[in-house]
Structure 1
């Protein structure tokens, strides 16, 4: 696996990622919301308003209503468990690919004690029971729990999982695997309660071959966020590094991916043939910088913040301490300036108004102040609120 003659700089990689993420300029207003989410490789949706902002900011004129329509009315999006076992919005028509690829990721060692764990056979029983219970209906967590225990056995209901305010039943250890199997997705809220249901009807019963799905999956990941390494791919998926290394090795042997030089180092990969990058002209005074320019406000767990690497370049200097939480990206909404993190922000909504407090880590130029005001207005439009911009200290903690 010898590197090609292609050598990529951070500025070039950042510029290409910006373009492909609809961050250099938003997608046209005619672009389906699901297509935007497909380009992102999913929108993290543990906090749904953050997902709505992530998607809305990437399409001209989009608001949270467009995301909700795609999710609950035309069902072109589905809310389910995606990378890292976390809640994501995914394009419905891509569920077979996601299910095949995610199900092929090794689960690793359970974090629970030996007395609390499920055996693999028990896990399979639970996933099947979840699918049976949700067929043609929406259930709250309590209702689903009753159905799972009834279909498996009392062992599934044992309160052995440490939770926020008590203990959860044993079966919930594999709730995310039901999402990966295509037997569970989130349904509409029932009052303040979350519900679960079967995902929209797509051909999940005959998913792609696992090897073919992984090849497509890696190729799309590298198209969106490359150059990247097996270690970074593993981090994005919460997968074993050794497994990811073998996947990349096999794909390289088959000619599906190729190695490039990146920032003077080897071991970085792109999809085979995908070696065109915006030229880094930053050292030539008579030429403009690459197009990863301008001010952006990105919400919690934005896909770009999670996947773009190396993280030390995306979060330079003080930003690495201020905008990360123990090295973990996404816990703070961030201010991006020219493609790198340059501050944090927070919004507090009250009725139809929202106060957007932005804490830059360095003084802003007049142009950057103007672009920041424009970004705050756009965030307000996406969230269907009248924004008030305040530049000052963000006093709330991570993921507040």
Structure 2
């Protein structure tokens, strides 16, 4: 929890930190859903939604496709080299999908030329789709999504600010004032160091899963920062920590929760707390996995986390003009814990800029 910037949080309402600091601290934060992604930044920084969006406007952080074929928040200055080093726009899985959709090399090249010509300023998703249609490219069945994603993975594009309620896309060269240039070794070392510092303790397989890279590459990356790594075997697993991470590198626990009590958090659907690891059994009890991922299809529900362990789920709902947070714990909560949930919901409401009412549901989902 401490490494993940949650307990204690990196920033608070009284002493917030920037979205850029959060992105640097964790390396990247999964953000394919916009509402989930902005709360991942907000819950750690003490910023409001408006302030996170201002950080995007100031070009501190961007959303793009650096790894795992999905969207993450990353420091704007690192977006290009991260995509070029870690993304796999020519990977076998995408090649298969392109073939299924009838996307050919000519479509990819034409889309790239269109983007270079027209996306010097942010363009909303509907406008980008119209651009493809006008050029004779069929955008249906996620073809537009894959073409845009491909050119984000190559480092040509990134997402800009939201336009209306739509994501926008823009040339990185036009949007990002300064893109860092790192060698392959510098990039691998940076990602390994940030991951260890922002997620530890972890295993080699956790880092391999986070990057979707083979263990050989992961071990190469770790060797580049070996002087900053501590290793400890617990219950047959070798855990890696950063020497300057929380607890000074001591793996004095059997799970990734904070040492002692870390409080109550309402975490977003796609958060590094679960998505940042290959092994989730230490924070999500296996008997409750189906309640967080009911389809067992990697579509997660937002989670109630108590003292470093998933203890329930929640969802935001709109009732008339009232924003409510429906909380379903896995086991009944006492009065003190419900007060903690209320405080967490109040923090979420402050982030959104609205008053929030908590609706208490029993473990069966009944109010």
TM-score class normalised by the smaller sequence: 0.7 to 0.9
Which of 256, 263, 270 matches 1:294?
263
Q: Residues 226 and 346 of structure 1: is their aligned pair in 2 closer, same or farther, counting only changes over 3 Å?
A: same
Give me the whole-angstrom Cα distance separating, in 2, the residues matched to 1:22 and 1:203.
Answer: 26
Contact 2:315 2:326 survives alignment (8 Å): yes
Contact 2:29 2:74 survives alignment (8 Å): yes
Cα RMSD of the aligned pairs, angstroms, is 3.4
Deviation at 1:54, TM superposition (A): 1.7
Give me the whole-angstrom Cα distance separating, in 2, the residues matched to 1:255 and 1:43.
Answer: 21
Give me the whole-angstrom Cα distance separating, in 2, the residues matched to 1:272 and 1:251.
Answer: 16
Q: What is residue 56 of structure 2 aligned with on the other side?
A: 71
Q: What is residue 349 of structure 2 aligned with on the other side?
A: 380
Contact 2:87 2:154 survives alignment (8 Å): yes
Q: Residues 117 and 223 of structure 1: is their aligned pair in 2 closer, same or farther, counting only changes over 3 Å?
A: farther
SS of residue paired to 1:346? strand
Q: What is residue 276 of structure 1 aligned with on the other side?
A: 248
Q: What is residue 236 of structure 2 aligned with on the other side?
A: 265
Gaps of 5+ in 2: none
SS of residue paired to 1:167? coil
Q: What is residue 330 of structure 2 aligned with on the other side?
A: 361
Q: What is residue 187 of structure 2 aligned with on the other side?
A: 213
Contact 1:302 1:330 survives alignment (8 Å): no
SS of residue paired to 1:369? helix
Gaps of 5+ in 1: 1-17, 160-165, 283-288
Q: What is residue 176 of structure 1 aligned with on the other side?
A: 149
Give me the whole-angstrom Cα distance separating, in 1, the residues matched to 2:101 and 2:160.
Answer: 28
Q: Residues 382 and 103 of structure 1: is their aligned pair in 2 closer, same or farther, counting only changes over 3 Å?
A: same
**Which whole-Å deviations, capped at 9, do the CAs of 1:157-187 have from their partners, x for residues lacking one?**
256xxxxxx6344x64342232233321223
Spell out the pairing of 1:1-400 with structure 2 (5 A cutoff).
Answer: 18-26=1-9, 27-28=11-12, 29-60=15-46, 62-72=47-57, 74-103=58-87, 107-109=91-93, 110-112=95-97, 114=99, 116=101, 118=103, 122=106, 125=109, 128-129=112-113, 131-141=115-125, 143-145=127-129, 147=131, 157-158=137-138, 167-169=141-143, 172-199=145-172, 200-204=175-179, 207-237=181-211, 239=212, 243-251=213-221, 256=226, 260-270=231-241, 276-277=248-249, 280=252, 290-291=259-260, 293-308=262-277, 310-327=279-296, 331-350=300-319, 353-393=322-362
Structure with more relative contact order (C-alpha pairs < 8 Å, separation 6 or more): 1
**Which whole-Å deviations, capped at 9, do the CAs of 1:184-215 have from their partners, x for residues lacking one?**
122344445443222323444x7322232122
Contact 2:208 2:218 survives alignment (8 Å): no
Contact 2:209 2:278 survives alignment (8 Å): no
> What TM-score results when the alignment is normalised by the length of structure 1?
0.75
SS of residue paired to 1:87? strand
**Which whole-Å deviations, capped at 9, do the CAs of 1:21-72 have from their partners, x for residues lacking one?**
2211222524222112322333333332222222212123x21111011112
Structure with higher Rg: it is 1
Give me the whole-angstrom Cα distance separating, in 2, the residues matched to 1:41 and 1:79.
Answer: 13
SS of residue paired to 1:98? helix
